[in-house]
Amino acid sequence: MWTYDKKLQYPVKIKNTNPALAKIIITQLGGPDGELAASQRYLSQRYTMPYDETIGILTDIGTEE
Amino acid sequence: MNREKMQHMRKVQVASFLINEAALYLDVHPTNKKALDFYDKAKKERREAVEKYEATYGPLTFYNAKGPSWTWIQGPWPWQNEREA
């Protein structure tokens, strides 16, 4: 199961605010073709993987995304 | 999963669940002394249970994996029964 780490994976420093760009980025995260949707697909598809290596990589990619 | 392994795993599961529920309560009652004590007790139980489990059966998270070879991906995975693994 999952746990949350209260940290960013990579430090973010925003020099100039840009609402139009922010809208694109938030869609890349939570939108229909975003990271969150992809993560759920990885984690669901791992159940039909035949080897420990492929189960492991899908688990860990899904976790990262 | 043999009986002994299952008993160790159950201790981890119980302590983790207690922490989870305590966290939900504390999220909205952050100064409740009784809840904080409950959390501390569960945290100690979980730490001990995880240490015991991992020492014998391998890492529960990839933060606790170690060499000489990468055992993190070794089955059985949590959803697999004996036959599948």
ipTM score assigned to the predicted complex: 0.81
Q: What is the pLDDT of residue B31?
A: 97
Residue A2 is predicted with a pLDDT of 87
Query: How many other CB atoms sit within 10 Å of the CB of residue B17?
Result: 12
Using CA atoms, how far apart are residues B12 and B49, in angstroms rounded to an integer?
A: 5
Q: A52 vs B62: CB contact, 8 Å cut-off?
A: no
Contacting residues of A for B73, CB less than 8 Å apart: 52-53, 55-57
Cross-chain residue pair A47–B75, CB shorter than 8 Å: no
Question: pTM score > 0.95 for this model?
Answer: no
Query: Given pLDDT bands bounded at 50, 70 and 90, which one contains residue B85?
Result: low
pLDDT tens per residue, range B9-59? 999 999 999 999 999 999 999 999 999 999 999 999 999 999 999 999 999
Comparing B1 with B63, which gets the higher pLDDT? B63
Task: Chain A: give the shortest CA distance to residue B62, in Å.
Answer: 9
The answer, for B79 touching chain A at a CB cutoff of 8 Å, is: yes
Q: For testing the chain B interface, which of A4, A52, A58, A64 should be mutated: the one with the most B CBs within 10 Å?
A: A52
How far is B72 from A45, CA to CA, in rounded Å?
19
**pLDDT per residue as tens, chain A (65 positions):** 888 999 999 999 999 999 999 999 999 999 999 999 999 999 999 999 999 999 999 999 999 98
| Extents of the domains making up chain A | 38-65
